[in-house]
Structure 1
Amino acid sequence: MTAQRDIDLKAYIRHIPDFPKPGILFYDISTLMRNPDAWQMAMGRLARQVAPFKPDILAAVESRGFLTAAPLADRLGCGMLMLRKKGKLPGRTVSHTYELEYGSDTLEIQEDAVSPGQRVVIMDDLLATGGTLSASAALLRKAGAEVVGASVLVELTGLGGRAKMDGIPITTLLSYED
């Protein structure tokens, strides 16, 4: 890995206009993940941001949250659980339905995924309007978790998603205004 500590990780995020629909600018993290030096740097920075929360477990939001939570849980020596779309998890689940700009969606976790009072940090790739991250926090609280923080690779600050997080501290690796 490069010894350069000031690597510009934004240089490794590809911007794709009009995806997944016209008018949306997609921030593609796959280009960051493909570069071993940049990916290691990103994981190191995330680890330094998340460690102060002292999580027992990281809650990864489907599906790109899995990509950051798995290596980060390994680095921090904590567990990881998956927040999945309805019907994707085996066994008994706890669910939470929430509204989106274009309808509704449901997230689920396995009923035994967290213990009451367990310290959880939510992990996702992107914070935009805050709907999914906020729903994740509501689901985890419903299951008895203590949501102590959230962490994302990319935040689109102009969309105001942070305001929906009900005081949950959020760390962001990269911020964009649009």
Structure 2
Amino acid sequence: MADVDLYSYVRDIPDFPKPGIAFKDITPVLASAEALDAAVTQLADLARPLKPDVVVGAEARGFLLGAALARELGAGFVLARKPGKLPHETVRAEYLLEYGTDALELHSDAVAEGARVLVHDDLLATGGTARALCELVEQLDGVVVGCAFLIELAFLNGRQRLAQYDVNALLRYDDGE
């Protein structure tokens, strides 16, 4: 498993979702039992020392590995969804993407006061989504113990927006190619 080259399972989709963006497609990671197992296991290995009670995953790709990561860690999983998608009372945070703006919501009772929370998404770009997740957790009096990503687009400097947190990523891309 440690010898699985996860980079080889990530493909670039040029000009998606708009011209100039090189989308990192993780569906080949998910389609391979070996790569999926390696990704979840390696993320869990990074996060285990943080002892999270809960993993919060961002819609939609953060759900894919996030729930499996939570299970591997023996933690709960919380959905961070687009506005209007959760059926119960919510808290909301807006954020900037590298190509627009968006918002996420959590159920207002999703994170217990003092809960140790790992923030997860598939990709760290500008840091807007992850920063919004951290703000939501903190609105609910949870403690963000770290952030874990499959991919980091280091050239977009998202890590800077998360400087106060322990940030880990399995794969790092240093340029937009």
TM over 0.5: yes
Which residue of the other structure, out of 50, 54, 57, is the alignment partner of 1:60? Answer: 57
Q: For residues 42-74 of structure 1, what are the alpha-carbon distances to aligned partners after superposition, in whole Å with 9 as ceiling and x for unaligned?
A: 111111011111000000111100001111111
Q: Which residue of 1 aligns with 2:101?
A: 104
Residues 28, 99 of structure 1: alpha-carbon distance in 2 compared, 3 angstrom cutoff: closer
Name which of 113, 120, 123 aligns with 2:120. 123
**Equivalent pair of 2:97/2:126 in contact (CA under 8 Å):** no
Query: How far apart are the structure 2 equivalents of 1:106 and 1:126?
Result: 17
Pairing 1:76-155 to 2, within 5 Å after superposition: 76-100=73-97, 103-155=100-152
Q: Secondary structure at the match of 1:85?
A: coil
Aligned-pair distance for 1:166? 3.8
Task: Go from structure 1 to structure 2 and tell me whether the alpha carbon gap of 1:84 and 1:37 turns closer, same or farther (over 3 Å shift).
Answer: same
| 2:166 matched residue in structure 1 | 169
Matched, 1:40 2:37: yes
Give the conservation status (yes or no) of the 8 Å contact 2:124–2:149.
yes
CA apart distance, 1:91: 1.2
SS of the equivalent of 1:167 reads: coil
TM-score by length of 2: 0.94
Structure-2 separation of matches of 1:117 and 1:81: 15
Q: Following TM superposition, by how much is the alpha carbon of 1:101 offset from its aligned partner in structure 2, in angstroms?
A: 5.1
Pair 1:30 & 2:30 matched:
no
CA–CA distance in structure 2, aligned partners of residues 121 and 150 of structure 1: 6
CA shift, 1:98, in A, is 2.8
Structure 2 unaligned regions, length at least 5:
none
Distance 2:80 2:134 in 1: 10
CA RMSD, aligned part only?
Answer: 1.2
Aligned residues between the structures: 175
**Mapped partners of 1:5, 1:104: distance in 2:** 37
Q: Which residue number corresponds to residue 17 of structure 1? A: 14
1:6 and 1:101 map into 2 onto residues whose CA distance is: 32
* Matched AA of 2:112: S
TM-score, with structure 1 as normaliser: 0.94
Percent identity of paired positions between Structure 1 and Structure 2: 47
Paired with 1:15 and 1:110, the residues of 2 have a C-alpha distance of: 34
